[in-house]
Chain A
Amino acid sequence: MTAAYRPGPDAGVTRSDDGRSVYVARLPGGPLVVLEGVAALIWGEATSAPATGWVARVAELFEQPEDAIEDDVKAFVAELGARGLLVAAALEPGPED
């Protein structure tokens, strides 16, 4: 079982001990990006297996309908992708979004 996304090949990732923050660095020159709150949760679900239903899991965490948050979540993931911090994982079934 794989996740929908994984860190980019030139990204380093560290999570805070309390799990509330995710630190992502573009290697080798930076920048260093801090994901907090909603951003950290989206990162967590996007990079956790299974790929199927990951947006629904985010929606469930925030007690929101999936279709109400889907566009924002996609836009955020696209921004991380544009920075080279997140890439779509090579999947068997493919991510649902």
Chain B
Amino acid sequence: MAAHEATETRGAGATVPLEVRIGFAHACLQWIADRCGADLLHIKGAALDPTLVPGRGFSDADVLARPEHVRMLLDELRHHGWELINSFAYGSSFEHSATLRHSDFGLLDLHRIYPGTGPTPDRAFEALWAERTTTVLGGVDCTVPSRDAQALLLLLHAARAGSDPKAANDVEWVWTTVDDAQRIRILEWVDRLDAGLAFSVITGTLDDHRDDPAYDLWRVAARGGTRVDEWRARVRAAQGLRAKLAVASRSMLVNVEHLTIVRGRPVSRREVAAEFFGRPVRGVREQVARRARGIHRGDP
């Protein structure tokens, strides 16, 4: 009788479709959350209501945790075979998610914030949590936002995806072609999640928000920019001098965990040093190249 264990390292034997592994990643997270008392919502990917964007593909599992439960979840995940690949500070300009990997279940993005939502991460989560529903993933009932909230979350994701064709397709399905009633329901969620700035990318009115400290973050995310642009935007968006200094200092640090994954082996001091000096240099080179091409958009 054919029963095989399927892990990434075994190679031989049965193969498991990626969407099946990801479904089990969601099931695993729900199992852990149920037992440690953490609140989380499964978002995007396998958890997305299939009627929003039919046939939409995915490559990892995304979950949004109640902010005060994130530390507990991270600790639990590490006890159950999940390896941290990228911590929050290094995940993206929005510092919103940590990436973990499991040998059986693949990649997971654990979000502590959903970029574009507010007014605080706690209140945004609570608004989504208050109207949660469930869907079955990996054979387990998993908590997900309401369908209309999912539609907005997908649009906010598209807002920071630049010219990605998949994001454009999402906008087409979830916003451009929907009827007025659906748009009104989405706009209600824009208000509830204080998502006006990020949503303005979708409506083409981002420049109406130039005075917002987070404007540059969304401008760079939506339209592109150099690494220097990106870090400048992160500093501007950070609230308070201490936070700004922390962001500025991080721009100079090296994420050794990530470098290890990229290299596939423990990194040497020499490699860490090379990366340390390489990143600012790379930023300068991009900036110089953009100035030379006359397309620099970082300064007013």
A-B residue pairs in contact (CB < 8 Å), sample of 10: A7-B139, A23-B20, A25-B138, A27-B27, A31-B104, A32-B6, A34-B3, A34-B16, A38-B2, A80-B3
Residue of B at shortest CB range from A34? B14
Contacts of A10 in B (CB 8 A): 31
Contacts of A37 in B (CB 8 A): 1-2
In the complex, whether B270 has a CB less than 8 A from a CB of chain A is no
Contacts of B13 in A (CB 8 A): 34
Bound complex: CA A10 to CA B7 (Å): 18
CB <8 Å contact, A30 and B27: no
Instruction: Please report which residues of chain B, range 1-28, place their CB below 8 angstroms from some CB of chain A when the two chains form the complex.
Output: 1-7, 13-14, 16-17, 20-21, 23-24, 27-28
In the complex, whether A35 has a CB less than 8 A from a CB of chain B is yes
In the complex, whether B80 has a CB less than 8 A from a CB of chain A is yes
Please judge, given known A-B contacts A23-B24, A28-B31, A32-B24, whether A38 and B1 are in contact too, CB under 8 Å.
yes
Please judge, given known A-B contacts A12-B27, A13-B139, A27-B27, whether A32 and B16 are in contact too, CB under 8 Å.
yes
Contacts of A11 in B (CB 8 A): 139
Contacts of A12 in B (CB 8 A): 23-24, 27-28, 31, 138-140
Having A16-B20, A30-B102, A34-B14, one finds 14 other A-B pairs with CB under 8 Å, namely A12-B24, A12-B138, A12-B140, A13-B138, A14-B24, A23-B16, A25-B138, A25-B139, A27-B27, A30-B103, A32-B104, A33-B6, A35-B2, A36-B14
Q: How far is the CB of B78 from chain A (nearest CB, A)?
A: 11
Chain B: how many interface residues by the 8 Å CB criterion?
A: 28
In the complex, whether B81 has a CB less than 8 A from a CB of chain A is yes
Chain A 25-62, CB-CB to B under 8 Å as 1, else 0, gives 10111111111111110100000000000000000000
Residues of B within 8 A of A (CB): 1-7, 13-14, 16-17, 20-21, 23-24, 27-28, 31-32, 80-81, 102-105, 138-140
Determine which of B1, B20, B104 lies in contact with A30 in the assembled complex, contact meaning CB atoms within 8 Å.
B104
Contacts of A92 in B (CB 8 A): none
CB <8 Å contact, B140 and A28: no
Bound complex: CA A38 to CA B2 (Å): 7
Contacts of A38 in B (CB 8 A): 1-2
CB <8 Å contact, A30 and B139: no
Residue of A at shortest CB range from B15? A34
Bound complex: CA A28 to CA B101 (Å): 13
Q: How far is the CB of B223 from chain A (nearest CB, A)?
A: 40
